[in-house]
Amino acid sequence: MGCKTSILECMRDKVELEKSTSSETRSSLVTSDVTETDKEQSSPYLMFCERRLVTEEDDHKEQPQHKTDVLDIVGEKTPFEDNAHDDSDYLTIKGPQDVNAHLLTTSVPSIVKILLVFSKDDQQMEILATTASKLGWSVSVAKDAEKAIELYQNRAHELVIIDHRGHRAAEGDAICRALRSSPVHYNSVIIALVKKSYFMLADKDHIAALNLLETGFSRAMMECSHEGILINELVGIYTSSLLPRTQLAAAHALYLALDRCRDMVHVTNDKNIVQFLNKVSEKLLGYTLEEMMGRNLSEIVFYENFALMEQQLSKGREFEGNMNCKRKNNQIITINCRIIPFCTTLKKPTHYIYVYDTTYLSENIAPISPIASPLHPPLRTSILSNARKHSDVRSAISEGRRRSSLQKLHTLQLEAPITKVITLLSNAVTDTTNTETAAQIDKAIDILKTTELYVPHLKEDKIYNDPVATDLVGALLSQSSRTWDSRRSSADSARLSTIKPAMGPTNARISMKNFRGPQEIADILDSSLEWEFEIFKLEVLTEGRPLVFLGLTIMNLYQVPAKLNCDEKVMQNWLSIIEYNYISENSYHNSTHAADVMQATATFMQSKRLKEILEPLDEVAALIAAAAHDIDHPGRSSQFLCNANNRLAILYNDLSVLESHHAALTFKLSLSDDSVNIFKNLDRETYKLLRQNVIDMILATEMTKHFEHLAKFMNVCSARIGDGQVESYANSLDMSVVLQPDNVILIKRMMIKCADVSNPTRPLKSCVEWARRIAEEYFCQTDEEKKLKMPVVMPMFDRQTCSIPKSQIGFVDFIINDMIEAWDAFIDMPEMVGYMRQNYEKWKEYNEQGISTLQDVEKIQQHPDLHIPRLPR
């Protein structure tokens, strides 16, 4: 402890202190209520503590041989120290010397409180008080048992000295017993002050100190009137008794934390006999403390490759693996466990610490019946075994295969989250008593083992009985796959062998610097962030250029030119070239659709939730992606391009063909000329990040990834309840989870997806017009497929037979409803859900009224409430 040097320094401090306090009266040091604040100020004891710690460090520096001795015990040369990269997962054998000093276990009282119990003031009491005060300790004095107990219970003194001399011995014993009965006595050292003759009067065969220990005293101290001897005696008591008790109290706190932690912990001796187990162990395994203590742990916990484990532990290395643990009802559960060898003698391991990763199991595993025991297996086991006796041979083989696969899974050194999920489900199968539940869990495991967890499939229990709806949904969600047809001629793919050149003429840019359009344009742009925005009216007023007008308005509202550090003229030129490269002949995928998606995105970003989540660069990326997300769309689906051997399908390997083209062309055009390059003034890292965001959001509009994005979003941000309802986490949403980078990316994907298919959530007249336009585009594709004898992607979208109301009903049922309700729950935009439900009911009415074809829809649009202005064709 370095105590010897500390005592000498303390004595020097004492001499200096005596010089500085010589004018003070002796009686002032003896008080019954000395405040700790007074003693903490310039306390010699504090200096004593600091010097003691420094001296300890110096002592260690002077003894370098000590560290060598420890290494010699472990081995001649520790390869896992010299070659850390070869065996970095393992550590040398643990011992007290390897445990870092923590505040909890090294903290000492800021000031020692000492209680002197003397029935009368005498020289011995006064000199004890003086000596303790010189050490900076807080001294309290009591003259009787009642006062002693009162002071002790109020202040919980670390050190108590009771006068036990002569006839006061009986009273001293009584006071000691009274203090020991107090709940605060555990951390106190109680000393009996005895005469020098106390130890000489006893019989030679009797140890006098035993009487004191049995009474409750910690030790005895002989009376002494010499300050130098007493100060050394008190320092020795502090070092040998008070400090260890402080550390013991901290150990009790750690013990409590260990006992209450959520992971199962076992501690054994070197013979593997259980010395400690915490409460989780009883819950998981079913054995009580009495049943486990003193038992060999290998009877309950075992590892398949025992030789490997023993080899690692014998070298003083930690070992980690999946242990098979036998529960009290004889069931086996597999738990990942880390075993840490611990050495207290510096020669070989004296204890083994088993730490099991059981946080999930402790919350979800079923409790074990009290009647279960190794001799009497519980009823549930027999029920399960009887049920399996009646199962067929294939079921038994399947069970064996599953267990074999699980064992192989446990031997892997790498583990993914899905592996943990499968392991937990596999353990659950062994615990369940219900064969039907076990079968369902097995089915879930089989699904999780596939590599296409989010590949969309129509729900088996909700197959729509209308072929039009099924056709539409199937075409939207189908992956691109090449269909070979021997009837196709060599010229079949010529129709789309080329796409219209992307670059427009140099005079295609629209000069808006001094533009003074009709007041109607200005009026309608005033409502650019309202959900009822009349996009088709703007289309007519701008003569088919809504993206430039609306886009520039929204970009300025979000201060995009300033955030990109570009001139507004450059932003205007960029919008112009983007709009020029939309194909105006398309009935649906044109610049009006792009402007509509951009307007929806801008409106979404006005929500309080998205303002909390999105950074300024996120907003910029979202608006750019929305404006360009369908640029140069040919009015045909990706599947059509693949079937036609189109150059884009070949270029992008039939994968996300259109979306990849939209993203690539956006940046090709943007970087083609400084007059349109809105990214020109960004630094490299900002541009790279912005580009990644824009590309990611454009690719997210691919419908084949719809259910993947939706499922992930609902897992993070909302919970599905009841029949298609969504309960928002608005009041309890953990923003620390939402703001994780991957989740922010997911939210931006959902935002542009919802904007892209928001047509059914707009007011009825807009909803009907969008339905008419998309139907017309699908009909044109079907017409061309039939003309060129190509595979028909959506055969039910025949302009002669297709029912537009049915297609819209199916689209809402399968694609829109869940996504919009989840999005509304997240950003709180109820008007979307309101319009969607109203429109859905209206489509049902139209279907019942026999409205079906394009001509029928155009006829109902003649009604003033549904009339939409159109550009002349």
For CA atoms 650, 656, 658, 659, give the dihedral sign. Answer: negative
Q: Which residues pair with 806 in a beta bridge?
A: none
738 Cβ contact partners less than 8 Å away, ≥ 6 residues apart: 613, 716, 717, 744, 747
The strand pair at 301-302 and 264-269 is best described as: unpaired
Query: Which amino acid is present at 566?
Result: C
Query: Which letter does DSSP use for residue 100 in this model?
Result: P
CA distance 248 to 442: 50
CA 255 to chain centre: 28
What is the three-class DSSP state of 483? Answer: coil
Query: Residue 837 in contact with residue 615, Cβ under 8 Å?
Result: no
Q: Is 252 annotated as a binding residue?
A: no
Q: Is 311 annotated as a binding residue?
A: no
CA distance 602 to 595: 10
Q: Is 629 annotated as a binding residue?
A: yes
| 57 dihedral zone (left: phi>0; alpha: psi -120 to 50; beta) | alpha
Query: Residue 806 in contact with residue 469, Cβ under 8 Å?
Result: yes
CA distance 336 to 357: 6
What is the three-class DSSP state of 481? Answer: coil
Q: Is 736 annotated as a binding residue?
A: no
| 665 dihedral zone (left: phi>0; alpha: psi -120 to 50; beta) | alpha
Q: Is 756 annotated as a binding residue?
A: yes
Query: Residue 361 in contact with residue 333, Cβ under 8 Å?
Result: yes
Query: Which letter does DSSP use for residue 503 in this model?
Result: P
Q: Is 704 annotated as a binding residue?
A: no
CA distance 295 to 275: 9
Query: Which amino acid is present at 244?
Result: P
In degrees, to the nearest 5, what angle opens at C-alpha 843 toward C-alphas 791 and 601?
80
Query: Residue 602 in contact with residue 558, Cβ under 8 Å?
Result: yes
CA distance 638 to 600: 24
Q: Is 590 annotated as a binding residue?
A: yes
CA 356 to chain centre: 20
How far are the Cα atoms of 116, 126, 236 from residue 123, in angstroms, in the given order?
Answer: 13, 5, 22
Query: Residue 70 in contact with residue 96, Cβ under 8 Å?
Result: no
CA distance 42 to 50: 13
Q: Is 849 annotated as a binding residue?
A: no
What is the three-class DSSP state of 287? Answer: coil
| 305 dihedral zone (left: phi>0; alpha: psi -120 to 50; beta) | beta
Residues in the chain: 873
| 672 dihedral zone (left: phi>0; alpha: psi -120 to 50; beta) | alpha
What is the three-class DSSP state of 138? Answer: strand
Q: Which residues pair with 639 in a beta bridge?
A: none
Q: Is 630 annotated as a binding residue?
A: yes
User: Of 157, 410, 589, 709, which one is the catalytic site residue?
Assistant: 589
What is the three-class DSSP state of 275? Answer: strand
CA distance 792 to 598: 32
- Count of alpha carbons within 13 Å of 621, Cβ hemisphere only? 24
Q: The tokens of 40 are what?
A: 């903490």
Decide if 633 is catalytic. no
Residues with a known catalytic role = 589
Q: State the binding site for AMP.
A: 589-593, 630, 756, 808
Q: State the binding site.
A: 589-593, 629-630, 756, 808
Q: State the binding site for Zn(2+).
A: 593, 629-630, 756
